[in-house]
Structure 1
C-alpha cells in the first residue's frame, strides 16, 4: 500500500519485467513520470539507500541489486479505488547516487518509454513503392518484443511513390523517421503504455480529439473541486495559414497553394480558424522533388499544427480528489472557469508526481479557440 486509496506496483527486469521485491517498494522515496503527445515520455524513480546489513562496509546494498541497472525495463502501475492504471513502460537509461553524511543516500534511476530503443541505431534504408502508412507499420512491427500494438491512422492524402520517380529513403534512427513522417501531416507519434502491463500502443496519427472525455477537471466548485491551480492563455498570434505558389516536380508548373482552415474536430465554438483575416500568413515550404499533392499536404500540416494550441491551459490536480488518473493524448472536460474557457480540451502532456501520502498531476491542455461546444462535461 503506497497510501490510503492508492496502491503502487513496480515490475522490473531485463526483458520480461517481474514484480519488484517488497523491500524495493518500501524504499521508494518519489516517482515522477511525464507523458507527452510528441517525443518520448520519461520517468524518474528515487529510492532511499542505506549502508546497513552484512555488506554495508563495501557498498550500498541497493546498488548490488541487478534490477536497477541501465537498460532494464520498468513498468509502473498505480491502482486507485481498485482500478489499475499503467503509467509507464520504459527503459532505465541513467543512474545517480547522492550520498549524505549519515550513511544514507538517494539512488535515482531515470529512463524513457520503450520507444527509446527505436532511437538506438542510425540506418540508411530505402522503402521503394511504399506509402508512408506502410512504412510506419513495417517499422513498428520490428519492435514486437516490447509488446507494441500498432495504431496507424491513414492521412487524408495517400501518396504511393512511383519507384521510377522517387524512392522514400530513411537516413537516421527508426524513431526519427517515424516522427519526421508524422510531422508532414501534423500527426504525432508516441508509444503509450497499456492497456495491460507488458503491452504498449504505438500511435501514429492526428492528435486524438474523439472518444469519451475523461472525468472533468473542476475549479472553484466546492467539494467537487479537484484542481489545485490553473492558468489559461489565449495566444492570438499562433494561427498560421499558408498562401503562395509552389513548383510541381512532375509538371514543372507553378501552382497556387493556400490553406483556409483545419479539418480537426473542433473543441471550441469560436475557433481561430474562422478568423483568417487576423491569422499569420506564410509562404509554402519548397522542397526538391515535391509534387503538388505533397506540397498541399505539408502546407495543411502547418495550419493544423498551429491551430492545435491557440488556447493553452496549465495546472495541477490532486489525483485522489480526481478519483483517477488524467491521461495525456486524450480529451478532457474543464468546468468552473467560465463559459469562455469551459468545455473540452486535448490533453497535451501530464506529469505524475508520487510520494508517500501524495499523488499530484501537472497538466497542459490545448484547443483551437474559446467557447464551449457542450453545455455540460462528464463529472
Structure 2
C-alpha cells in the first residue's frame, strides 16, 4: 500500500514489477525497508518516461505499508515513508532497476530540532505528550513508567529538550535502560509507539532448532561471547533534597526474568569492567542510582550474541523482533531463552528468509526445555 498520507493498495503493474523486498526491525534506531523494482518501457506511450518512474506514488515521503500473509494470517511488516530513490538504467533488456529506500514513521519525529521546556512533567508524561503530537500518523502510545518516578517541581528544575522529538524520547529512555521504537500494526495504517523496558515477559516464540535433523529450521547460527561488554557503574551525586554528596554503585543486572544461568557479572568476577559515572546536578540519590542501574542493565544485554538466518517456510512462522525466543540443539551453554534484538526480512518471489540477532547476559540455560 502506498500514498501521500493514507496509503492505498497499489495497481497490479506495480506488484508485478516488484522484484525484492528487505525490511529491517530493531529495538535501537529507526527501522527501514528497501523495495527493488524492475523497470522498463514497453511501447510508444512510454517514450518520455517509464510508467513506474512517472507514477505519483513513487515520491519522497510518500507512505508505504507492507503486509505479508503467512498461514492465512496477515501481518503488518512495515509502515514508513520513502526517503531515498535510486535508479539504475541499463542497456540490456529487463536489467534496469528502481530501488526505493525508506524508514519507519519515527523518521518524521527526527526532522526538526527543538528547544522546548516541559515544566512539572516526568519522563512518562513527556513521552505520552510527544507521541500524541503525531496521532495523525496512527501512532498508538504504549508507555511503561520507570521504577523510579520523580515529577520535577518548577521551583527546583525544568526538563529541557534540545534535540528532535525522537532523540529526546530515546535519551529519556536510555536513562532507565529503556528503549523507544515504533512497531507497525496491529492494523494497517497504525503503529505502536513503545517506550519502556525490553519486552522479556512476552510468550516465547517457536524455538530456533539447530543440529536436530528434520526438526532443524535454522540455516546458520553463530554465537559470540563478549567478556568486555558487562560493566558496573559507580559515582557520587550531590543530592538536591538532602544537600549532601552521596556515593552510589551498581553490582548486577536487574533485568527480569533472567535469561542466563551464568551471567557475566558473576562468572567473570573479579574481571568485570567498573566505570565511573558522574551525573550532573539536580538529581536525587535515587535518580542517580536508577540511571546507573539502567546503564548496567543495558551493558549486560550484549554479553552473549547469536546471529543467524532461517527460512520462513521451514520455520513455519515469522520471527518477531523485540520479544523472546528459545534456542535448542546448540548445547547447554547456548541453549535456552534469548531476547530478539533485530530481525531482517528478505524475500523474493521464490524465497522468504529472515536474518536475526539474539542477545542475553551470559552462558547457560535457565530452563530445561523451550517451546518447540
What TM-score do the two structures reach when normalised by structure 1? 0.95
State the match for 2:144 in structure 1: 153
Q: Following TM superposition, by how much is the alpha carbon of 1:250 offset from its aligned partner in structure 2, in angstroms?
A: 4.1
CA distance in 1, matches of 2:24, 2:111: 21
1:126 matched to 2:117: yes
State the match for 1:344 in structure 2: 337
State the match for 1:367 in structure 2: 360
Measured against aligned partners, the alpha-carbon deviations of 1:11-36 in whole angstroms (never above 9, x if no partner) come to: 11111111111111111110111001
2:237/2:281 contact within 8 Å kept = no
Aligned-residue CA RMSD in angstroms? 1.3
Measured against aligned partners, the alpha-carbon deviations of 1:301-324 in whole angstroms (never above 9, x if no partner) come to: 110111111100000110111111
1:246 matched to 2:237: yes
Measured against aligned partners, the alpha-carbon deviations of 1:206-261 in whole angstroms (never above 9, x if no partner) come to: 11101211111111111211111111011111111112433324444221111122
Match of 2:194 among 194, 197, 203: 203
State the match for 1:270 in structure 2: 262
State the match for 2:7 in structure 1: 17
Match of 1:325 among 297, 303, 318: 318
Measured against aligned partners, the alpha-carbon deviations of 1:95-134 in whole angstroms (never above 9, x if no partner) come to: 1100011254100000000111111112111110011100
**Residue 278 of structure 1 aligns to a residue in which SS?**
coil
**Residue 67 of structure 1 aligns to a residue in which SS?**
coil
Structure 2 unaligned residues grouped into runs of 5+: none
State the match for 2:108 in structure 1: 117
2:261/2:365 contact within 8 Å kept = yes
State the match for 2:74 in structure 1: 84
**Residue 297 of structure 2 aligns to a residue in which SS?**
helix
Match of 2:184 among 171, 177, 193: 193
1:47/1:108 contact within 8 Å kept = yes
1:72 matched to 2:62: yes
CA distance in 2, matches of 1:284, 1:72: 43
In the alignment of these two chains, the number of paired residues is 369
1:126/1:167 contact within 8 Å kept = yes
- Could you tell which deviates more after superposition, 270-279 or 75-84? 270-279
2:26/2:322 contact within 8 Å kept = yes
CA distance in 1, matches of 2:53, 2:241: 61
1:257/1:284 contact within 8 Å kept = no
State the match for 2:282 in structure 1: 289
Q: Following TM superposition, by how much is the alpha carbon of 1:61 offset from its aligned partner in structure 2, in angstroms?
A: 1.5
Match of 2:219 among 215, 228, 234: 228
CA distance in 2, matches of 1:84, 1:208: 23
- Could you tell which deviates more after superposition, 274-283 or 69-78? 274-283
2:235/2:278 contact within 8 Å kept = no
State the match for 1:311 in structure 2: 304
State the match for 1:212 in structure 2: 203
1:49 matched to 2:42: no
**Residue 261 of structure 2 aligns to a residue in which SS?**
strand
